Structure 1
């Protein structure tokens, strides 16, 4: 189970440990990290990062736990999400979702960033049926 006094975020792309944005946004701030599954559909976008869309397939990633809830504002900015803005203007939406361990036992609720299926397809996303995204060597100017 996830500790109730921490901020929990499910990550499946460039924020995973070892990926491009982990050092800038997470390193030294994460107090716990556990491999996990969220339900959805995973797309690889041509811009060099993934998108999770609504669905029922397993999407593999990590639940990162933070003591500082202020981290969420920095992640929102990275993900193009304005909690007070119009969903039509956000690149991603953020919501709480149930996450599972690798045995499919519920861990609890974590924040995750997701994209509408239509938007992922319009951006030229390729569906990843296996539910895993592998990073690339992204140029310095790439941002989500």
Structure 2
């Protein structure tokens, strides 16, 4: 069984969840270390970093689903040329990498105070971790390894990504990020 951390349009309820929905056997809220950016194409990008990205941990029962996701995450060069005509990217827009993800206890609320504190794992037993601030109400979670689709910071900058400081994406935040960005 493969685990995939999703943080954008592949999340349950979002427009591209259909790509993997038939192979999902469980969905759990999760956080991962990194930074999240809204891209001008209507979807986000995640980079590795010390911030916190909120998303979902999907458990997949079909190994072919990763192949479908890999194909889905390839970029369409014509889409990039429309927004950034001078950019040249390799075959894939995103790179699939394994990362550590904290599965959140669904009975607890997660709060975020907007600080830029580092993401830290503190092991307190077999697979259990304790997470302090900025998630003050999050006491116990399960540490997992999952695949995630990531970009480099350089790619995000070249594409005109706008930071999402709270580490969470949805279509409304996408729209708000570019509205605020265009007014500044």
Residues 20 and 135 of structure 1 are in contact (CA less than 8 Å); yes or no, is this contact kept in structure 2? no
Higher relative helix content: 2
Match of 2:56 in 1: 62
Match of 2:150 in 1: 114
Question: Following the alignment from structure 1 to structure 2, what is the Cα–Cα distance between the partners of residues 63 and 113?
Answer: 13
Higher-Rg structure is 2
Alpha-carbon distance, 1:28 to partner: 2.5
Question: Following the alignment from structure 1 to structure 2, what is the Cα–Cα distance between the partners of residues 91 and 22?
Answer: 19
Match of 1:80 in 2: 74
Mapping for residues 1-144 of structure 1, pairs under 5 Å? 6-23=1-18, 25-80=19-74, 88-102=90-104, 103=138, 105-135=141-171
Question: Following the alignment from structure 2 to structure 1, what is the Cα–Cα distance between the partners of residues 34 and 90?
Answer: 20
Alpha-carbon distance, 1:78 to partner: 0.8
Alpha-carbon distance, 1:74 to partner: 0.5
Where structure 1 has 5 or more consecutive residues not aligned to the other structure, the ranges are: 1-5, 82-86, 137-144
Superposed CA RMSD in Å reads: 1.7
Question: Following the alignment from structure 2 to structure 1, what is the Cα–Cα distance between the partners of residues 90 and 142?
Answer: 31
Alpha-carbon distance, 1:101 to partner: 2.5
- Give the 4+ runs in structure 1 shifted more than 4 A: none
Residues 57 and 103 of structure 2 are in contact (CA less than 8 Å); yes or no, is this contact kept in structure 1? no
Where structure 2 has 5 or more consecutive residues not aligned to the other structure, the ranges are: 76-88, 105-137, 173-184
Match of 2:129 in 1: none
Residues 9 and 112 of structure 1 are in contact (CA less than 8 Å); yes or no, is this contact kept in structure 2? yes
TM-score between both structures, scaled by the size of structure 1: 0.81
Residues 98 and 106 of structure 1 are in contact (CA less than 8 Å); yes or no, is this contact kept in structure 2? no
TM-score between both structures, scaled by the size of structure 2: 0.64
Question: Following the alignment from structure 2 to structure 1, what is the Cα–Cα distance between the partners of residues 25 and 45?
Answer: 25
Q: How many residues align?
A: 125
Question: Following the alignment from structure 2 to structure 1, what is the Cα–Cα distance between the partners of residues 103 and 60?
Answer: 18
